Structure 1
Amino acid sequence: MTLIYSIFHSIISKREAKIFLSFCLLPALVPLLSSSMESLGSADYTKDFFSFLQTVLEVQFRLLLPMLIFSLIISSVFREEIDSKILFLYKDMNRKRIFDAKLIALFILYGLYLLATAVTSLITYYLFVVPRLNQAGAFFPSDATTLVQGLLVIGTQLLLGVIVIALVSLISIRSKTIVAVLSGLFFLFNMITAPLLVGLRYLAPLYYAGLKGNLLVSLVGVLVLFICYFGFCYLKGLNQFKRVEF
């Protein structure tokens, strides 16, 4: 835990981390970006808090800019420390322990970002959207199917973020920051667009998350692809990290 805390403290103190976390304020811009209060009131995503949060997370996910900043942070945790020989300070420690601690610290930052986004969305929805539009202010949608589908989509987006962390970590061990960052963005862009392409849709977790009528197939599809993508990136990254000369 001490190692994880030490790594996380060094990450959170970076300027890029503060910029990344600032994107959690995006929900506060939703009313400002709306063309009119009437159009905002007629939007489905304002009917309940969960739908509002789902829309905010989807906008952040497809915006790519937050993940660009986050990828720079991920790369710095590995590439910059390798180039600057800082990892020499850990030469007597188990390399798997170091690798896992770095990933966990990055997962914590990602989780903090999502939590802050949820809190900002909650405040924005109940202090601005509900009073101004005279909405009922329900927390969850009345339709259980819509709720389950939304949870699956949000969960899939979260898992894709975890995969990007592992992927950028893997590439940054051997390659420069620009290569690692672009690889992460390229992967994420393909995961977003693949559901629209007949030949590639079955390789995208979001395709299965968007399927309606068979929750089991959707859940299995998402989890199988996550295990394959994350498992490959984690095992390959760990193997390369063990070979790095401190």
Structure 2
Amino acid sequence: MLVIPILKNIFKIKAVWLLLIFSIYPLLIFIAELTKSNFITFEATNGHKIAYIELLLAIHDTQLQFMLPIIIIGFVFSLQYFDEINTGRLILFKDLNRKKIFDSKLISLMLIYVIYISNLMISSYIVFKFYAVRKGLGTNTLLYTDTLYNKQLILQLLSSLGTEVLLIFIALLLSTKFNTGITIIGVIVSAMLFRASTLLGKIQYLLPSGHYSISNQNEFNFSILIIICLIFGYATIIYLISLKIFKQTQF
């Protein structure tokens, strides 16, 4: 089983720990409160109390805008694929099935992403429960009483996570062929294009982010199916292309 040794090796990369530290950045609001600083703030708009799901969505979207997590992920992917190919370290695995090597690296890196998202969800809930609710800014519930609004938020969160997953797979594709700099630039440009897609009319419907707005509850199941299919479809295509490139690479 290659996943465990690869995962141990990934945890030796300082950038991975930076990513995991960044996943708990919402907790900085407690430091800001103790030091009476305003470098990070949380305010209600017109007396609106926020539910956990909307707070989580806001925090995750903020991180996507920072792009730092995606840049770090692109960097780590490049280290695991391009750098190991370029430096000849993968020759140590020459007797192993290339698909097994490729998949083990991908699974290990995706586990890092799962840990990152889990940390973000937990730290966001801590902020929600012990800051927002305590300050009278939160509803003390995971969802709102408005079912339609809840479903819109769920779709928006799913599309936001889906966009991040697609950026990770783009990093995978680029890292099998190009160096770290090009991989990171490619991921940043892709993220900017994804964000700009909402301004491009019908083109936005080709991406997960184009399907979170619904006018009635009956549209929810269809929209969630479309978002999942788009994520899975694009990820599968990118995976197969990346695997083909990896198999053809000379170690």
Same fold (TM over 0.5): yes
Deviations 1:8-39 (A, max 9, x none): 111122111011112112323457558877x4
Measure how far apart 1:42 and its partner are: 4.3
State which of 84, 87, 91 in structure 2 corresponds to 1:81: 84
The one-letter code sitting in structure 1 at the alignment partner of 2:44 is L
Q: Does structure 1 residue 105 correspond to structure 2 residue 108?
A: yes
Identity of aligned residues (%): 23
- 2:212 match: 209
Measure how far apart 1:111 and its partner are: 0.7
State which of 230, 237, 240 in structure 1 corresponds to 2:242: 237
SS at match of 2:44: helix
Deviations 1:118-173 (A, max 9, x none): 11111112112211227541222222222222222222222222222222111111
Deviations 1:196-220 (A, max 9, x none): 2215212221011234432244224
- Shifted more, 203-212 versus 103-112: the winner is 203-212
SS at match of 2:201: coil
Q: Which has the higher helix share?
A: 1
SS at match of 1:147: helix
Tell me, in whole angstroms, the C-alpha distance in 2 between the residues paired with 1:51 and 1:134: 12
- 2:120 match: 117
Tell me, in whole angstroms, the C-alpha distance in 2 between the residues paired with 1:130 and 1:170: 43
Measure how far apart 1:87 and its partner are: 0.7
The one-letter code sitting in structure 1 at the alignment partner of 2:13 is K
- Shifted more, 27-36 versus 185-194: the winner is 27-36
Alpha carbons 1:51, 1:141 under 8 Å: kept = no
Distance 1:134 1:232, change over 3 A: closer
The one-letter code sitting in structure 2 at the alignment partner of 1:230 is A
Deviations 1:210-236 (A, max 9, x none): 344322442243233223321221010
SS at match of 2:196: helix
Gaps of 5+ in 1: none
SS at match of 2:2: helix
Q: Does structure 1 residue 40 correspond to structure 2 residue 44?
A: yes
Q: Please, what TM-score do these two structures have when normalized by structure 2?
A: 0.87
SS at match of 2:23: helix
The one-letter code sitting in structure 2 at the alignment partner of 1:238 is L
Tell me, in whole angstroms, the C-alpha distance in 2 between the residues paired with 1:13 and 1:43: 46
State which of 193, 200, 203 in structure 2 corresponds to 1:200: 203
- 2:4 match: 5
Alpha carbons 1:107, 1:162 under 8 Å: kept = no
Measure how far apart 1:103 and its partner are: 0.9
Q: Does structure 1 residue 161 correspond to structure 2 residue 160?
A: no
Tell me, in whole angstroms, the C-alpha distance in 1 between the residues paired with 2:47 and 2:14: 36
The one-letter code sitting in structure 1 at the alignment partner of 2:123 is T
Alpha carbons 1:103, 1:165 under 8 Å: kept = no
Gaps of 5+ in 2: 33-37
The one-letter code sitting in structure 2 at the alignment partner of 1:231 is T
Q: Does structure 1 residue 20 correspond to structure 2 residue 24?
A: no
Alpha carbons 2:81, 2:175 under 8 Å: kept = yes
Distance 1:136 1:216, change over 3 A: closer
SS at match of 1:140: coil
Alpha carbons 2:143, 2:150 under 8 Å: kept = yes
SS at match of 2:71: helix
Tell me, in whole angstroms, the C-alpha distance in 2 between the residues paired with 1:241 and 1:145: 45
SS at match of 2:5: helix
Measure how far apart 1:101 and its partner are: 0.9
